[in-house]
Amino acid sequence: MTHHNKKIATNFCQIELQTPIVLLSGCVGFGNEYTRVEGYSNQDIGAVCLKGTTLAPRLGNSPHRIYETPAGMLNSIGLQNPGAKTVVEDILPTLNFNETRYFANISGSTLEEYGEVTKIFDQSPIDAIEINISCPNVKKGGAAFGNDPEMSARVVEICRKNTNKPLITKLSPNQTDIAKNAQLCIDAGTDAFAVINTLMGMAINIENQTAVLGNNQGGLSGPSIKPVALLKTHQVYQVCKTHNIPIIGQGGINSASDAIEFLIAGASTVGIGTALFSNPLIAPKINQGIIDYLDKHQIKHINQLVGTLKLNTT
C-alpha cells in the first residue's frame, strides 16, 4: 500500500493512511460505489467511512431525501442500511483492505443499540469505528444524543466497553459548547474526532407551502458550512492537542486550499463528502495541491502544518 508521496502519508490512531483524505460516511455507500468511476483509485485516499449502520435494517425516510441549496446540499436519508450483521457478513468481504483503510459508521436510537452495533463490528476486519452521535434518542423524546455532552459521553463509554478498535466520535455543530462535549468524550475513551457533522436545515416549496424534504428537515453540507466547520475544528483542537487526539476536519472542503485551512486549524486528516457529487475524482487533485503547498512553504511533512494557526491578538 504505497502512495506516490510520503509527505502526505499520515498516522491516524496507529493506522497508517497513505493520504490525509477520508471519504465521508454516506457519500460513497458501502465502499464499492465510487470504485466504479473511471480513473478512480483507492490509493488516492487514506480511508473510506462506510454508510451509517444500525442494528436492524432500515428503509430510511420517505422522499424527497436530497435537495440542492445555494453552495450546498440538504440530505435526509434516514440511515437506510441493511443492518450491521449484513454489512459485516456480506459487504466487508467484498472490500479490498490492501488498497485503503475502511471505517464503520454506527448509529443507534438507544445506548444499548450503540453497544450492540459496536460489538458486531469489533468482530470484523474494519480498521476503526466512527460513532454518529447525532441520532435521536428514543428514550429522551427524540433529542439528539450529540447535542447533550453528558449523553454523548455515555454513547462513547458504551462503545468503548465493546471494542478495542479506534473510536472516532463525530461531533454535532448543533450544540452550545462543542469543546466541553469533546472533553467529556475524551474522558469516556474516544480515540479521535470527526468535526463537524451537518448543520440542520430546511427547504420550502412556496407554490404549495410544504417542506421539500419528506422528513421536513435535513442535514446541510457543502461549501456553505465551511466557516462554521473551521471554527468548530479550531475549538475542538484546543481540547485535543494536549491529549494527542487526532481530528478529521470536514465540512465544505472543495479544494486543496480548503483542506489546508482545516489542517492549519488543527485537523490532521480531512474529510471529503459533498464535493464528490460534483467531482468524484477530486481526491488526487487535493493531494497534489497539498504537496505543492508543502513544497512551496518548505514544510517537510503534513504533520508540521497541523494546528499552526496564529490568532490575532487584540
* Catalytic (active site) residue 27: no
SS (H, E, C) the chain: CCCCCHHHCEEECCEEECCCEEECCCCCCCCCCHHHCCCCCHHHCCEEEEEEECCCCECCCCCCCEEEECCEEEECCCCCECCHHHHHHHHHHHCCCCCCEEEEEECCCCHHHHHHHHHHHHCCCCCEEEEECCCECHHHCCCEHHHCHHHHHHHHHHHHHCCCCCEEEEECCCCCCHHHHHHHHHHHCCCEEEECCCEEECCEECCCCEECCCCCCEEEECHHHHHHHHHHHHHHHHHHCCCCCCEEEECCCCCHHHHHHHHHHCCCEEEECCHHHHCCCHHHHHHHHHHHHHHHCCCCCHHHHCCCCCCCCC
C-alpha cell at 266: 488543527
The dihedral sign for the CA sequence 220, 223, 227, 232: positive
User: Which residue in 27, 49, 135, 240 is the catalytic one?
Assistant: 135
Question: Cβ(181)–Cβ(156) under 8 Å?
Answer: no
Q: Which residues are catalytic?
A: 135
